[in-house]
């Protein structure tokens, strides 16, 4: 993929790793709601223009790699998919929603440190959670 001349920042899609799947309004039911009935799913709501979203990307990628056996982490672009963010009242980004058993189980707003995110995810991946 060629970038326009003079473009400095890569788009978010350019920097997303293979471990982070992009979901859409159309795939959300299957990729998140249904999938969360067998394993917690974290949805990272983001936009390309959002600098804190870009800052959070490496952290989310690390967490996805380190915890891939216990949690699925996906991305949803709020500019390209407006129905899901509206349904879940996403007011600011980055926002991470943790889905478990088809429902929102937790929410993380803003570019949080890795330790905070991992602690919240582990709350939903440990037995009897």
Does the annotation mark 44 as catalytic? no
Q: Would you say 41 and 32 are in contact if contact means Cβ atoms under 8 Å apart?
A: yes
* From 53, 74, 111, 121, active-site residue: 53
Of the listed 23, 43, 50, 108, which one is catalytic? 50
Q: Is 50 considered catalytic here?
A: yes
Whole-angstrom Cα Rg for the chain: 14
The sheet carrying 95-100 orders its strands as: 21-23, 72-77, 41-46, 95-100, 103-109
Q: Which residues are designated catalytic?
A: 50, 53
């Amino acid at each position: 993929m060629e970038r326009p001349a003079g473009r400095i920042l890569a788009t978010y899609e350019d920097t997303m790793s293979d471990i982070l799947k992009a979901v859409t309004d159309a795939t959300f039911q299957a990729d998140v709601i249904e999938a969360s009935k067998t394993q917690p799913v974290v949805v990272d709501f983001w936009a390309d223009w959002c600098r804190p979203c870009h800052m959070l990307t490496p952290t989310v990628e690390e967490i996805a790699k380190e915890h891939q056996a216990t949690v699925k982490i996906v991305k949803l672009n709020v500019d390209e998919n407006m129905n899901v963010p509206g349904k879940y009242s996403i007011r600011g980004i980055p926002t991470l929603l943790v889905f478990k058993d088809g429902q929102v189980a937790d929410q993380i707003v803003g570019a949080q440190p890795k330790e905070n995110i991992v602690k919240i995810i582990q709350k939903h991946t440990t037995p009897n959670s």
